[in-house]
């Protein structure tokens, strides 16, 4: 759990990769500086041909140029982050910070600066005296890094211009959410009855305030099995918890007596290995967080200050892909069994109705008076209904009925309202 927390932090830390690049540049510079090329060697024509003064001037020019470029790159990055926050959703900033091309470009620039600056300590100077001999290969490396930096600058501008396009942003959120479904989604049982904590249950408090980012229950279940206890997790992934509030209820199998104190102590020590609480939501196991990002984009597009129903329709189209993938799975709480097949832990999860409402509920409330948005919602409901079973189609049916009620109430013009109602009625009739 701690390794995953560190990995999640470093993935969105804008300083991590550039710092590693600086260290590698200094190591590479020290190694290359020890290599000498014989003037009679056929490779001598490939290395820097100037004097030591020329080499120092070159390194100074490269370092000063790269500093200017770094300032430009950071300025463009800040502008992109501000635009993404205000125009799309503040929850998208994490995606921009985790963008590998941005981190790689900044790493190349700071590595070039560190390499060139460090070379000033050795080029043309030895024991405080000026000399003519200097590591020509190392100076040639600075020139090579300069050209690489220029290529990366052009690539960065190209990548930045594409990364803030709304289609690219929404496609990235869709891919990330589908990746969560493929890698970490655990199907639940919609018919599972999660028991209420009995009278003898003991609460394990949340270790800190923040959002539940991930669950890894294997080690915790092993302790429960060894102590012959049963437990129930209170919050779902993505829910905010307050330090000291119950995050897990634990009880003996009979439920009448509280667990032994030593068992509770062992479970408290095992709790940090099961649940990770952080200051922000992440997409590691939280499908609802990806849905929330796309719903935010659609909601902002439908605000009176923007009035962009086409962007809202695009967000709904991307949500349709996620909802179709969700409709192929079973949702709800799950019971985790130990090696002997005994249920030891109940893990809560969101049901399909909650996820559908999260994805399309705000769009319905803000866009029910816009015929284009209503048609997009009806189209998405028809597509999603074809992937799920009867329980999923029942959720879709309830949503369509609510949407048509909003249309009757919010669309005053009969020429706009009646075709929408007819299309909605046809969709309801097609649902088995």
Q: What is the pLDDT of residues 295-333, one digit of tens each?
A: 999 999 998 888 889 999 999 999 999 999 999 999 999
Q: What is the DSSP letter of 42?
A: G
Pairing status of strand 210-215 against strand 229-233: unpaired
Neighbour tally for 150: CB within 10 Å = 13
In sequence order, which residues have a C-beta less than 8 Å from that of residue 382 and are 6 or more positions away? 427, 430
> What is the per-residue pLDDT for 257?
75
CA distance 264 to 261: 5
Classified as helix, coil or strand, 214 is: strand
pLDDT tens figures, 101-132: 888 999 999 999 999 888 777 665 554 555 56
Pairing status of strand 275-278 against strand 240-241: unpaired
SS3 readout for 301-358: HCCCCCCCHHHHHHHHHHHHHHHHHHHCCCCCCEEEECCCCCEEEEECCCCHHHHHHH
Q: What is the DSSP letter of 194?
A: P
Is 169 within 8 Å of 313 (Cβ atoms)? no
> What is the per-residue pLDDT for 203?
93
Q: Which residues of the chain have pLDDT under 50?
A: 127
**Nearest Cα to 234, choosing from 265, 206, 259, 276?**
206
> What is the per-residue pLDDT for 356?
96
In sequence order, which residues have a C-beta less than 8 Å from that of residue 330 and are 6 or more positions away? 187, 188, 189, 190
Question: ∠ CA(1), CA(102), CA(27), 5° rounding?
Answer: 80
Question: ∠ CA(326), CA(327), CA(332), 5° rounding?
Answer: 75
CA distance 251 to 118: 62
Distance of CA 136 to the CA centre of its chain: 45
CA distance 127 to 72: 37
H-run or E-run covering 215: strand 210-215
Radius of gyration of the chain (CA): 29
CA distance 297 to 362: 11
> What is the per-residue pLDDT for 35?
73
CA distance 404 to 330: 27
H-run or E-run covering 229: strand 229-233
CA distance 95 to 81: 10
Backbone angles phi, psi at 207, to 5 degrees: -70, -20
Is 386 within 8 Å of 343 (Cβ atoms)? no
Residue 199 class from Cβ within 10 Å (0-12 exposed, 13-18 middle, 19+ buried)?
Answer: exposed
Chain length of the chain: 432
> What is the per-residue pLDDT for 124?
58
CA distance 97 to 103: 8
> What is the per-residue pLDDT for 162?
83
Is 210 within 8 Å of 278 (Cβ atoms)? yes
Question: ∠ CA(62), CA(68), CA(71), 5° rounding?
Answer: 135
CA distance 369 to 100: 41
């Amino acid at each position: 759990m701690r390794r995953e927390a560190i990995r999640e932090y470093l993935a969105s830390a804008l300083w991590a990769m550039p710092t590693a690049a600086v260290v590698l540049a200094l190591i590479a510079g020290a190694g290359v500086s020890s290599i000498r090329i014989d003037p009679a060697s056929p490779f001598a024509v490939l290395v820097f041909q100037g004097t030591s003064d020329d080499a120092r001037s070159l390194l100074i020019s490269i370092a000063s140029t790269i500093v200017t470029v770094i300032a430009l790159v950071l300025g463009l990055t800040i502008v992109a982050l501000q635009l993404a926050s205000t125009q799309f959703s503040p929850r998208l900033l994490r995606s921009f910070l985790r963008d590998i091309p941005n981190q790689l470009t900044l790493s190349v620039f700071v590595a070039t600066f560190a390499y060139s600056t460090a070379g000033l300590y050795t080029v043309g100077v030895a024991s405080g005296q000026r000399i003519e001999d200097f590591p020509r290969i190392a100076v040639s490396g600075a020139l090579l890094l300069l050209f690489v930096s220029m290529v990366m600058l052009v690539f960065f501008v190209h990548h930045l211009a594409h990364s803030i396009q709304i289609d690219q942003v929404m496609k990235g959120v869709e891919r990330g959410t589908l990746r969560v479904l493929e890698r970490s989604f655990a199907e639940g049982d919609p018919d599972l009855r999660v028991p209420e904590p009995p009278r003898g249950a003991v609460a394990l408090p949340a270790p800190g305030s923040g959002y539940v980012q991930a669950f890894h229950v294997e080690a915790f279940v092993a302790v429960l099995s060894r102590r012959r206890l049963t437990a129930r997790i209170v919050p779902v992934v993505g829910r905010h918890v307050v330090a000291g509030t119950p995050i897990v209820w634990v009880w003996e199998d009979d439920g009448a007596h509280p667990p032994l104190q030593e068992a509770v102590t062992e479970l408290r020590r095992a709790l940090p290995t099961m649940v990770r609480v952080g200051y922000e939501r992440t997409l590691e196991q939280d499908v609802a967080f990806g849905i929330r990002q796309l719903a935010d984009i659609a909601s902002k597009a439908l605000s009176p200050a923007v009035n962009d129903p086409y962007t809202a329709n695009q967000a709904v189209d991307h949500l349709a892909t996620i909802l179709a993938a969700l409709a192929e799975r079973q949702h709800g709480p799950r019971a985790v069994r130990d090696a002997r097949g005994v249920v030891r832990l109940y893990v809560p999860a969101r049901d399909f109705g909650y996820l559908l409402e999260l994805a399309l509920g705000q769009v319905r409330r803000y866009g029910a008076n816009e015929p284009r948005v209503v048609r997009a919602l009806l189209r998405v409901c028809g597509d999603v209904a074809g992937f799920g079973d009867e329980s999923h189609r029942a959720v879709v049916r309830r949503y369509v009925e609510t949407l048509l009620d909003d249309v009757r109430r919010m669309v005053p013009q009969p020429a706009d309202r009646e075709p929408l109602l007819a299309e909605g009625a046809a969709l309801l009739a097609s649902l088995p």
